[in-house]
Structure 1
Amino acid sequence: MKNNELKIKDELQEESLFNGSLGRRSFLQYAGVSAAGMALVAAGCKKDRGYPDMNAGATLDFKDDFGVLNYAYALEQLEAAFYVKVAAAPPAAFTTAQKAYFQDIQFHEVAHREFFKNALSTAAIGSLEVDFSSIDFTSATSVLGAAMAFEDLGVAAYNGAGVRIKTDAYLVLAGKIVSVEARHAAYIRDIISNGTFADLNSLTALGASNANGLDGALTPDKVLAIAGKYIKTKINVINL
C-alpha cells in the first residue's frame, strides 16, 4: 500500500489535474486515469473498514482518509449536479460570457466528482439525491446566489477537512481542488458585485478572518448541516 501511495504522490506532483493545456474531453479522461492509482489503495483497504449497516442513506466514516475523501465526493456530487443543471438551461439574463464560464465550472465540478468516484472505487458512497427546490433556475439572481453559497461553503469545507488528512498525496490533491473552488467563488462574487471577489468580511460565518487574510474553515458537521438543505439522501456521520 505504501508503494501505491508514493506513486500517487509522484503523479500528482508531476502533472496538475487542472492543467490549462488540457482540453475539456482530456480533462475528464485525466480525472479517471489518474484516479486509477488511488483506487488500488482504496480497494485494498475496503475489506477492513467495518461500515455499519444503516440500510438507507450514505455513511461517512471519518476514522481514516477514505472518510474524508468520501466527504469531498459528497460535496462534489452536489456542486456538479447544480452546475450541470445551470449549464443545460442558463437563466435568460446571463450574458454570453457568463454562460461560457458556467459551462467551464460545470466541467471542473464533474471532473472533481468523477475523480473521487474512480479513486474511491468500491469504497465510494453511492450517488446522492439532491433537492434544488429552493433555487429558481430561471432567475440569474437566484442562480448566482446559490452558486456563491456552494463555492464559499466548498472552500470552507476543504480548508476544514485538511487537518484530518494523513496521506500527503491526498492533501496535495485537496489543495489543488480547493484553490480551483476559490477561483470559482471569487469570479461569482465579482459577477454579483464587481470588486468584491476578495471580500472576507462577508465570510466570517464560515470562519474567515479579514484582519489575518485567512479564508474560512468549517468542520464537516457544520458543513453538512448547511448543505443538508440541498441533499435528500440521509447522510450518516460516524467517528467524527
Structure 2
Amino acid sequence: MPEASTSTTPSGLSRRTFLTHTGVAAASLLLLTACPDPETPPLTTPTISLTGGDEGVLNYLYLLERTATELYDKVLANPPADLTAAAADLGVLRDINRHNTIHRELLLLTISANGFTANSNIGGLGFDYSSFTLTTRVGVLAAAQSLADLTVAAYCGAARLLSTPVLLRLYVKMMAVKARHAAAVRDLRTPGSFAGSDVVPQSGADAGLNQVLTPAEVLAELSKYTAPIQLSVGSLPTN
C-alpha cells in the first residue's frame, strides 16, 4: 500500500515548480511594495513676473494704468444713480479716466519705441473689483481714491529704478498728473482735504512727503484684484 504523501504542494505541481512560482510571486510583491505611491502633482499658482531693466519698470507702470482704466471703464459704463446725479463728480472721473487711458497707450508706444517688449500677459489680464462697492457714489470714490493713492506711492517708489534720463523725464511728468488725480478724488470725497495723513505724514523725517511703496508692496496689493493670478517683481530692479 503506497504511503500517504506529506507534501502540501497543489495537485499536479512538483515541489520545485511550486517553489519557483512562490518565489516569483514573492519577488513581485516586494517590487510592488518598493514602489512609492503615485504623488499628486503640487498645485502651482499662476504668476505674472516682470522683466528687468527699464523694460520691467515700463511694464510695471503699464500694469498700474491697466488696473486704473479697467476700474474707471467699468464704473463709467454704468455709473450709480447718485453719481450720475452729481454731474461735476462724474465729469472729474471721466477726465481722470481720459488721462489714465492716454498714459496707458503712451506707455505701450514707449515700450515699443525703445525696442522693449510689452508683457502680453498684462495686456490680457482680467481684474476683479468685487471688494469695492461700485453701486454708490461713496463706494466709487473710495475705490478711485484707493487706486489713486496706491499709484502715486508706486510712482514715488519706482522713480529711482529707471536708468534712462529721457524715460525718467517722462515718468516725472506722469507722476505729477497722478498726484493731481489723487488730490482731486480726495477733494471730491472730503472737500478741502487735498491730502490726508494716511498718505502724507505730518511729522517725522518724512513729514510733507508722499508715501513711498516698493514694487513688491504694490504688486502684493494689486494681486488682490487679479486673483488667482499673482503678480511678481521677477527680475525688476529693486535698487
- Match for residue 117 of structure 2? 123
- Between the aligned partners of 2:119 and 2:48, the Cα distance in structure 1 is 6
- Between the aligned partners of 2:45 and 2:220, the Cα distance in structure 1 is 21
- Between the aligned partners of 1:114 and 1:60, the Cα distance in structure 2 is 19
Q: Secondary structure at the match of 1:76?
A: helix
Q: Matches of residues 107-122 of structure 1 in structure 2 within 5 Å?
A: 107-121=98-112
Q: Secondary structure at the match of 2:135?
A: coil
- Between the aligned partners of 1:228 and 1:141, the Cα distance in structure 2 is 24
- Between the aligned partners of 1:159 and 1:202, the Cα distance in structure 2 is 15
- Match for residue 234 of structure 1? 230
Q: Secondary structure at the match of 1:235?
A: strand
Tell me which amino acid in the other structure corresponds to 2:223: G
- Match for residue 48 of structure 2? 58
- Match for residue 93 of structure 2? 102
Aligned-pair identity (%): 38
Query: C-alpha displacement at 1:57, in angstroms?
Result: 4.6
Matched, 1:193 2:193: no
Cα 1:55/1:141, change in 2 over 3 Å: closer
CA RMSD of aligned residues (A): 1.9
Cα 1:120/1:58, change in 2 over 3 Å: farther
Matched, 1:165 2:162: yes
Q: Matches of residues 1-240 of structure 1 in structure 2 within 5 Å?
A: 57-61=47-51, 63-94=52-83, 95-121=86-112, 123-126=117-120, 127=123, 128-199=125-196, 201-203=197-199, 208-211=200-203, 212-232=207-227, 233-239=229-235, 240=238
**Runs of 5+ in structure 1 lacking a partner?**
1-53
- Which one has a larger percent helix, Structure 1 or Structure 2? 1
Residues 86 and 102 in structure 1, CA contact (< 8 A), matched pair in contact too: no
- Between the aligned partners of 2:221 and 2:46, the Cα distance in structure 1 is 21
Query: C-alpha displacement at 1:136, in angstroms?
Result: 2.5
Corresponding residue pairs, total: 181
- Between the aligned partners of 1:136 and 1:237, the Cα distance in structure 2 is 29
Stretch moving more, 63-72 or 113-122? 113-122
Residues 151 and 185 in structure 1, CA contact (< 8 A), matched pair in contact too: yes
Residues 161 and 219 in structure 1, CA contact (< 8 A), matched pair in contact too: yes
Query: Any idea what the Cα deviations from partners look like across 1:94-146, whole Å, max 9, x if unmatched?
Result: 20111111111111111111111222236001212111112222111111111
Residues 153 and 212 in structure 2, CA contact (< 8 A), matched pair in contact too: yes
* TM-score using structure 2 length: 0.71
**Runs of 5+ in structure 2 lacking a partner?**
1-43
* TM-score using structure 1 length: 0.70
Query: C-alpha displacement at 1:55, in angstroms?
Result: 11
- Between the aligned partners of 2:45 and 2:140, the Cα distance in structure 1 is 34
Query: C-alpha displacement at 1:89, in angstroms?
Result: 1.6
